[in-house]
Structure 1
Amino acid sequence: MIDYRCERPEDKGAIEFLLDMAFGPGRFAKTAYRLREGVDCIPELSLVAMEEGILRGSIRFWPIQIGEAQTPALLLGPLVVDPVHRGRGIAVKLMQLSLEMAAAHGHHIVVLVGDEPYYARVGFSSVMAKGLSLPGPVDLKRLLAKELTPGALAGVSGLVRKALDAGYAQSLLADAGPLLKAQA
């Protein structure tokens, strides 16, 4: 049975090993990784999937801002599942749980770089990301967004950047533990 919980500091080594196995060291040169440099992920939204004490998957979120208005948003990724355990619904469950938690904590917009057919199953689309851009090379068909609050992207456009004040991530309302237990 897979247990889903918030990422803990002691999970970092296993997560990095899984990311290396799935994506390799070249991942650090990608634009999405550049947005994460020097910024901590939001632990209250970053989840792991554990089975008998072994990491099977991970999802992380990072604070970002969009455009001149510095509209706060979240960057989803990386999402990773142990290749041996793909096809079990782990990634979809990680996304569903973490997106529900993000909405419950008052976040309104989530952005990611990925394959639209895959992420569309949880509501991401390139149409929602129209008007957004990244500070590096990226295929705009892979720039996806999702509104956690209907209409949240109305009038939002511009360059996606690291959050200038990552402290807003600390303003999350409460520990996500009870929500995870209710969803398991």
Structure 2
Amino acid sequence: MYKLEQETEADGWEVEALYDLCFAPGRTALSSYRLREGVRTIAALSLVLRDEGGVLAAAIRYWPVRVGADDVLLLGPIAVHPTRQGEGLGALLMTESLDLARNLDWDRVLLVGDAPYYNRFGFTKLEGVVMPPPTNPDRVLGLSLRQDAWRGVQGQVERAACFAPNGTLP
């Protein structure tokens, strides 16, 4: 049995430790991290899963970014503790957080990842959306949370300016 909760400030060190465990040591050098620097997560969408003993099993975070004049959610990182992989926890975090994003009236989600994994959640390769280098363009994926939300959206992905902690524009 797992408990799904919104990540709190007190969870931060533990979530970072999970990301360190699950990803390569150079993870913070990736271009997506440049977009996150100095920007708060979308708190309402940044979730943790804990087991019955309170041990962190998985986490997901979202960040605001802009593509041209459009607000976009940048999904990631998402991580599942190596001893818990294969239990469907990553899929649970994906589906729950994407449903929350729809309910918060977000229109589109962007991530950098493996299409074969993320296609099952509806993500497809984005054309005309450019992540800062050195990002492989084939790994830039998007999901429309509203019909045709990515139609006409193109340009460089940039750091968002200002969002309230609940994920809405102030």
For Structure 1 versus Structure 2, the TM-score category normalised by the shorter chain is over 0.9
1:92 counterpart residue number: 91
CA-based RMSD: 1.4
How many Å separate the matches in 2 of 1:104 and 1:73? 15
Cα distance change of structure 1 residues 82 and 119 upon mapping to structure 2, 3 Å threshold? same
Cα distance change of structure 1 residues 170 and 45 upon mapping to structure 2, 3 Å threshold? closer
1:104 counterpart residue number: 103
Check if 1:146 corresponds to 2:143: yes
Check if 1:50 corresponds to 2:50: yes
How many Å separate the matches in 2 of 1:153 and 1:71? 9
Residue type matched to 1:11 in 2? D
Query: Does the aligned pair in 2 maintain the 1:107–1:148 contact within 8 Å?
Result: yes
How many Å separate the matches in 2 of 1:170 and 1:90? 23
Using the TM superposition, give the Cα deviation of residue 34 of structure 1 relative to its aligned residue in structure 2, in angstroms.
1.1
Residue type matched to 2:128 in 1? G
How many Å separate the matches in 1 of 2:166 and 2:35? 15
1:119-164 superposed Cα distances (whole Å, 9 cap, x missing partner): 11111111xx111001221111111000000111111100111112
Check if 1:166 corresponds to 2:167: no
User: Identity of counterpart residues, as a percentage?
Assistant: 41
Aligned length: 168
1:80-104 superposed Cα distances (whole Å, 9 cap, x missing partner): 0001110000000000000000000
How many Å separate the matches in 2 of 1:84 and 1:153? 36
Any stretches of 5+ residues in structure 2 without a counterpart? none
TM-score of the superposed pair, with normalisation by structure 1 = 0.87
2:37 counterpart residue number: 37
Secondary structure of the corresponding residue to residue 15 of structure 1: helix
1:177 counterpart residue number: none
